[in-house]
Chains A and B, each alone.
Chain A
Amino acid sequence: KQEVTQIPAALSVPEGENLVLNCSFTDSAIYNLQWFRQDPGKGLTSLLLIQSSQREQTSGRLNASLDKSSGRSTLYIAASQPGDSATYLCAVPTGGGNKLTFGTGTQLKVEL
């Protein structure tokens, strides 16, 4: 059974800091990994989708890496801003690729 863990569970940083969020998964037989952002009381916004054949994917100040063999992915946020405050979730397809298993989430707060 796929298990996805994220550390840290919560993070509070001053504005401008670069930070790394971690995601680990137990079953490396995945074809992609997706990072999402969730604001309080809202749905999920897809940030980055990284294919199993890729090692990195970038969008603006965000960079996601994937190491399938070690079962790890990281989300790097450069020059953090208060607007980045949200919960970040990683997810991998399971059940034959037709379902998503979510990580436990990292709640980020970027302070002025």
Chain B
Amino acid sequence: GAVVSQHPSWVICKSGTSVKIECRSLDFQATTMFWYRQFPKQSLMLMATSNEGSKATYEQGVEKDKFLINHASLTLSTLTVTSAHPEDSSFYICSATPLRDRVNYGYTFGSGTRLTVV
């Protein structure tokens, strides 16, 4: 089955620093990956859609310069939280689907990254 690996699973950083989160599709290729943010006891909020070889598409209200997304290959997308502040502390989850067959395979999610900014 489709497997998505997300790293790190948790990270603590100082305010003002940048943090990079990786999302890899291990056994399939994905031209598109998705980045979500989840606040405590709430459902997932789509932040951006990461497209291989092109610019990411951000949802309304999400700062492009704050959340930098790079999708350099068909199996790797990264989310960099720049100049992190305590309000950026959250649970970030990525998702991907096989290149041609999302109708049949649906979406697979990573294990998430807990970011704490102190």
Question: Which residue of the partner chain A has the closest CB to B108?
Answer: A46
Residues 86-111 of A, flagged 1 when their CB comes within 8 A of B and 0 if not, give 00010101000111101111000000
Q: B109 an interface residue at 8 Å Cβ cutoff? A: yes
Among the 9-residue stretches A13-21, A34-42, A76-84, the one with 4 or more Cβ atoms under 8 Å from chain B is: A34-42
Residues 75-113 of B, flagged 1 when their CB comes within 8 A of A and 0 if not, give 000000000000000010101000000111111111110
Q: Which residues of B contact A104 (CB under 8 A)?
A: 43
Please count how many residues in chain B sit with their CB below 8 Å of the partner chain's CB atoms: 22
B107, A89: Cβ atoms under 8 Å? no
A46, B91: Cβ atoms under 8 Å? no
Once A43-B6, A51-B103 are accepted as A-B contacts, the answer to whether A102 and B43 lie under 8 Å apart by CB is: yes
A44, B43: Cβ atoms under 8 Å? no
Q: B67 an interface residue at 8 Å Cβ cutoff? A: no
